[in-house]
Amino acid sequence: MTKYLYLGVFGLFLLVSPLQAQEMNTSLEGTVYDAQSKIPLIGAIIQIETDPVNRQASQGDGSFRFNLAKTEKVKANISYLGYKALTTLLEPGKQNRIYLEPDETSLSAVEIQGDKIRDEGTRSLSISNIGREEISRNTTASLGTLLSGIQGVSFASFGSNIQLPIIHGLYGNRILILNNGFKHGFQNWGSDHAPEIDIQAAESISVVKGAAAVRYGPDALGGAVITESHSLPLQTRLNGSVNSGFQTNGRGFNAGFNLAEGYERLSWNVGGNVNIVGDRHSPDYMLTNTGAREYSFYSGAKYRIRDNLVLRGNYSFMRQNLGILRASIGSSGAALIRNFEAERPVIIRDFSYDINEPNQFVTHHLASIKLDWNPSEENYFSFRYAFQSNAREEYDVRRNADLPIIDLNLNTHDIQADWTHQLSDRIRGVIGGQVLLQSNGNNPGTSVTPFIPNYESFRASAFWVETLSYQRSEWEFGVRYDYERNSVAGRERTQVPFSDLFTFSNFSAAIGYVNQLTERTTFRSNLGTGWRPPNMAELYSFGQHEARQLFGLLRYEEDTEGNLRNDRVIPLSESKVEAEQSYKWVNELEIIGQRSRFSTSFYANYIANFIFWRPIGVVGTLRGPMPTYIFDQANAFFTGVDLTYEWSHNTNWESRMGGSFIWSQNVERNEPLINQPPINLNYELKYSKRNIGPFDRVEVALQPMYTFRQFQAPREIAIRDLIEGNVTINLDSEIFDFMAPPPGYFLLNGFARAERGKMGLSLQVHNGLNTRYRDYLNAMRFFADDLGRNIILNVHYKF
């Protein structure tokens, strides 16, 4: 039935989509200038007020051109970062000259340059942005779920509380998460550790989908997620906002606030959020022990020392207590079989706000300071330092349940320096360097062998990117060198101490091309190499972790009879472990029509020595048999396409359709990779209107989506056959999974928003049809259905 409903809804947008075959023959042209210097402004946004979708960015010479069906004057809104927005009348058939005044109360020249620096080295990459409005109305969303609305981005989850963003099939240490300009220093391994970031502390969030390793480093092998804190404008009166909300699934409630003020040279802000949720439920039953408690605080200050020198500091804090589905834990072989084979979880209890074992307790601190200096229009320098402290405790169902089974402290020091320069009208670039130091320590008292050892890591990096502009095109060239040294100390299974010292180094390079084919059509292409050394979990994982056992590349070996041994740690120099090497090509075509926008990107990515974890069987433990995985290496290939089409039917109705497809393969063994995103299609039909009834603005949207069954998945070997010894598995065996991919599913989501003065009200609905489904990328699919209907009500007030 849901398949027919899905086809019907997607057929609806075809009926209402506009047929725009009429030829537009009246041109609206002009140029945007800086009012003081009279220099043309590149990238200023010109938007026709009566048609919000009809917008353009000014070209390299500041010019723009629209094709219109009417000849009378039209009202347009023109905006550009660091300048006062302007609303004016433009006359078709004439050369309109537009002058924007610099906004001295919000951004100095240093800050304008500070925004431009993020573009250097990424202009030829595919970049998507989520603005403050979208962030503020998703008060209960995690970073992973928020980003999943972008084509080519999905998320891997470990239940309802833990989500990791996936970009083009890659996640974890291959996706760099920049928290206010710094690599987020957390235990970034596995699918069961999510970044401890409060999205409400961000002004904007950008996703770089491409080979960003040259600009951002080895962790950006698959792309980057960049969160930017609030801008802290000067000379603004005390202002802020408060919000509060409730959600039905989990009976959760949330509240938050933000305050900001700016003087002539000093500005500051402070904010915080709390989110408390009880046990979630599927359409048919409770999901026991899936509650969460999250508390966050953030603050920032900016001081303009001189007009060309700005000092800024930020601090953020987050504490989480995240429950994990109780039914994912079994105490015997028979119990494990029941957990996997039962249609309903074996353990279902009444609703509760209590969070018991298994659970994760995490605390994260980030303190940073940044100095920006703009000695001339052609030169801009930025110096940054950050310290992060991440404490993680994980608890399991066992005899000493009050003791954490994993107890880690990770400290990170991050030092960066960049020089952005413009050598001529056609050549500009950025040269930068970074030093990253990390120290990870296990706290004693867990009564088990540490899952990963103590280690210290030192990384030094330098990069150079230059951009050459010529007429309507740009060429981008970049190189980077990284050196990494690691010192490791831990214990073998027999508790004998071990230690190791090893280094990695690599050169990376990229070339990019951007061509403004017409006033409305842009083509981008980027070809880049990248690399990534194996992280400590991939090398040294040992033992039980959540609902499975996991062994790193240096913690197992095969004996002469083909059996796996884990009684010693292999020195890296004696192993075959290599760093990953990536070669990625991304192409994007964007067409902006009178009432529409079309974007498509195609990518291909070959990764040598690709590191992944795969099932190897079921192994007995003191707690009972557990699904067991090992890390492995192979050459892999990824290719896919992302599509987005937006159009405005009329002044009030808008539509957006998108889809993503990825194909991946272990090319060495000609077999599929595990845990790759299936095909996804989504559609949004939105109605918006100003001054309706008592409200200043109203928006209502319907958001159907369909996720296909993952047809490119490994074979299935049932957990029963492994426990009963009906199947023999070794390192040479074909890859398998413990359960076949779940069927495809259709979800109907939506939202409604209304604003009146400073007050706003929003209503979101997820899984409105209360569909029963399991998501292939959710590790809890082995044990339970995914979340049922959830209605989220949020009220906010700005002052």
Residue-wise pLDDT tens digits, 702-716? 999 999 999 999 999
Q: What are phi and psi of 339, to 5 degrees?
A: -60, -40
pLDDT at 482: 97
Residues 305-318 pLDDT 10s: 998 999 999 999 99
- For the chain, the first-to-last Cα distance in angstroms comes to 48
pLDDT tens column, 170-189: 988 899 999 999 999 999 88
pLDDT (0 to 100) of residue 537: 94
Name the more confident of 33 and 465: 465
Average pLDDT, the chain: 88
For 290, which DSSP code? Answer: -
d(CA 201, CA 316) in angstroms, rounded, equals 8
Over the stretch 42-98, which tens digit does the pLDDT of each residue have?
A: 777 888 877 665 677 777 567 888 877 667 788 888 887 667 778 888 888 788 889
User: 666-687: buried (b, 16+ CB within 10 Å) or exposed (e) per residue?
Assistant: beeeebbbbbbbbbbbbbbbbe
pLDDT of residue 65: 82
Q: CA–CA separation, 270 vs 520, rounded Å?
A: 41
- pLDDT tens column, 340-395: 999 999 899 999 999 999 999 999 999 999 999 999 888 999 999 999 999 999 99
Collect all residues with Cβ–Cβ distance below 8 Å to 107 and sequence separation of at least 6.
81, 82, 231, 233
Determine phi and psi for 170, rounding to 5 degrees.
Answer: -115, 145
Residues 6+ apart with CB under 8 A from 243: 136, 139, 254, 255, 256, 257, 794, 795, 796, 797
Contact 440, 455 (CB under 8 A): yes
pTM comes to 0.86
10 pLDDT exceeds 60?
Answer: no
Residue written as token pair 């058939």: 93
Distance of CA 70 to CAs 27, 184, 512, 593, 787, Å? Answer: 9, 51, 39, 16, 50
Contact 680, 703 (CB under 8 A): no
95-100: strand order across its sheet: 63-68, 26-34, 95-100
Checking if the pLDDT of 699 tops 50, the result is yes
d(CA 681, CA 707): 7
Q: Which residue has the tokens 């009348």?
A: 89
- What is the three-class DSSP state of 281? strand
Least confident of 116-130, 542-556, 570-584, 783-797: 116-130
CATH 2.60.40.1120 fits 2-103, yes or no: yes
Q: How far apart are CA 398 and CA 623, in angstroms?
A: 7
Min mean pLDDT across 146-150, 437-441, 476-480, 613-617 is at 146-150
User: Does the pLDDT of residue 17 top 70, yes or no?
Assistant: no
d(CA 457, CA 453): 12
In CATH, what number does 111-227 get?
2.170.130.10
What pLDDT is attached to residue 520?
84
At 513 the pLDDT is 93
**Which pLDDT value is given to residue 579?**
97
Per CATH, the homologous superfamily of domain 228-798 is TonB-dependent receptor, beta-barrel domain (2.40.170.20)
Tell me: the pLDDT tens digits for 389-436? Answer: 999 999 998 888 889 999 999 999 999 999 999 898 889 899 999 999
Report pLDDT digits (tens) over 253-281: 999 999 999 999 999 999 999 999 999 99
Closest CA to 728 of 557, 562, 565: 562
How many Cβ atoms from other residues are within 10 Å of residue 758's Cβ? 10
pLDDT of residue 633: 97
pLDDT digits (tens, 9 = 90+) for 641-660: 999 999 989 889 999 999 99
Q: Does 248 have pLDDT greater than 90?
A: yes
Q: Is the pLDDT of residue 117 over 60?
A: no
What integer pLDDT is reported at residue 639 of this predicted model?
Answer: 97
Of 69-78, 145-154, 504-513, 770-779, which range is least confident? 69-78
Model pLDDT, residue 425: 84
Structure tokens at 137: 């109305």
Contact between 624 and 335 under an 8 Å Cβ cutoff? The reply is: yes
Burial class (CB within 10 angstroms; exposed 0-12, middle 13-18, buried 19+) of 470: exposed
Task: Look at residue 38 and tell me whether its pLDDT is greater than 70.
Answer: no
Residue ranges covered by each domain of the chain? 2-103, 111-227, 228-798
Return the residue matching tokens 């056992």: 549
The answer on pLDDT for 2 being more than 70 is no
Residue 133: pLDDT band with limits 50, 70, 90: confident
C-alpha span between 241 and 616 (Å, rounded): 52
pLDDT (0 to 100) of residue 600: 94
Among 279-288, 356-365, 440-449, 749-758, whose mean pLDDT is lowest? 440-449
What one-letter code names the amino acid at 62? G
Are 272 and 778 a contacting pair, CB within 8 Å?
Answer: no
Q: What percent of the chain has pLDDT over 90?
A: 61
Tell me the DSSP string of 526-592. Answer: EEEEEEE---HHHHH-EEEETTEEEE-TTS-EE-TTS-EE-SSPPPGGGS----EEEEEEEEEEEEE
Return all residues near 172 (Cβ < 8 A) that are at least 6 apart: 164, 188, 189, 190, 191
